[in-house]
Structure 1
């Protein structure tokens, strides 16, 4: 019997520990959302006693994860959070976090899904998931593709400061790959404004005859665009603007990868 009581006691302590961790995380979420809050506000939102809220805040203050504004008595996130956050980007692998999402996209729409990043004035494809369609056979991984003529490239270009974009396009120019390639700087800039506004980029046979694509941005924990995710396929069957559900799924894929890289989302 004593042994059984000991097990129950250990289980109860474990449950209490998990509850405390859950409550501490909730406190951090409240402070992140509101910017600052007092003991009464935290207690009220969490439905706990003020003394419990005070103990939680005190423990977080002791670890410098939360700090108290001495003038107003309110609590806010502390510098300890920055130390923790600073260690995240280096530990997250963009390709590793993206793989499952690309696989889902490729399987759902039966086309090729790619992840691209900006490297040396080009969009470089660093990961790919092949759709089951028999024509989806080209391997784009490692390929350097032009920014102005690809959907992923347009996403990456649209996210750059104007000076950096001007430098890159000044060095690469706007060479024509097909009759559909945008070679007019004003037309390209106008399209990039729309890409930045909507979070969607398209190409219709602009890089290769018979190839269409759509792309969305991937953001890091600071909201900076660090990559783009695209779906591409033969133009005779792949028309992303007309395909029901595809653009929303592509946007959600970009948000999911961004979330995995630390970007705060509401989805």
Structure 2
């Protein structure tokens, strides 16, 4: 295997410190990485010479990230493709449960499905890429609606009672708002026959580099295969899948 370059690894270690701190002194870098003073000095001087770090005069001198890192990040973000990245993650999730996995985005009061990987079971969900459904009737939609602030939610929801797809659909706007509060708290949404009486679904949010919710991932299965035990397991799979896709889209989860 090719040999990694220790000096480059140390330089990257220095830069990654700034993910959590906007400014650091040479002493702080030295203490956090447990490196000799001379090594840290050489790394900082080199990174500053290429403008990857900028020195902020003071006692002691502080350093912050420079413009080239923003340019690299912007170039990376511009090349991210949600559909392409989602296909790989959705395939992995589907392979672990052999059930349908979708990735969808919000479009007004509806959701549009961008990615689908189906199960191999003869009885499975009827859906497809490009399908549009009322957001409040689906697990992915409820996740996406829960990420909106009050003004945006009011703007997208129709006035008066909401259209239903099954007898279990939430059609009362006040009930929906209360339900969305629970979704925000729990971090997942469940569709209990609200879009299709024979199906159950659980979904979680996908975030971009800024932390904004840009899509949602769901796992769907017929009620005949949906038990309390598998719901716990599949909820975990969806959380993991959404987190993995969020990481691919540049999201960095904050430590608890």
* Alignment TM-score, normalising by the size of structure 2: 0.91
Question: Which among 33, 36, 46 is matched to residue 49 of structure 1?
Answer: 36
Q: Establish whether residue 19 from structure 1 lines up as the match of residue 6 from structure 2.
A: yes
In structure 2, the gaps of 5 or more residues are: none
Are positions 1:226 and 2:214 aligned together? yes
The alpha-carbon deviation at position 199 of structure 1 amounts to 1.2
Q: Which residues in structure 2 correspond to 1:134-173 (within 5 Å)?
A: 134-136=122-124, 138-170=126-158
**Change in 2 beyond 3 A, CA 1:196/1:101:** same
What is the count of residue pairs matched by the alignment?
254
Q: Give how far 1:120 is off.
A: 4.0
Q: Could you say which residue in structure 2 is the equivalent of 1:201?
A: 189
Assess if the C-alpha contact under 8 Å between 2:114 and 2:130 holds in 1: yes
Match of 2:25 in 1: 38
Greater mean deviation of Cα atoms: 47-56 or 208-217: 47-56
8 A Cα contact 1:65 1:77, kept in partner: yes
Q: Counterparts of 1:266 and 1:23 in 2: how far apart (Å)? A: 23
Match of 2:83 in 1: 95
- C-alpha change, 1:78 and 1:172, in structure 2 (3 Å) is farther
Query: RMSD value over aligned CA atoms?
Result: 2.2
Work out whether residues 125 and 220 of structure 2, in 8 Å CA contact, stay in contact via their aligned partners in 1.
no
Structure 2 CA distance for aligned equivalents of residues 166 and 120 of structure 1: 11
CA distance in 1, matches of 2:52, 2:169: 51
Give the whole-Å Cα distance in 1 for the aligned partners of 2:227 and 2:75. 41
SS in 1 for 2:19: helix
Q: Deviations over 1:18-55 (max 9, x none)?
A: 22221111101112223322212212332322121112
Distance 1:119 1:153, change over 3 A: same
Q: Is the 8 A contact 2:125 2:221 kept in 1?
A: no
In structure 2, the partner of 1:257 is 245
Note the residue ranges of structure 1 that are not aligned, 5 or more in a row. 1-10
Cα displacement (A) at 1:191: 1.0
Corresponding residue number in structure 1 for 2:118: 130
Deviation (angstroms), 1:190 = 0.9
Q: TM-score, normalised by structure 1?
A: 0.87
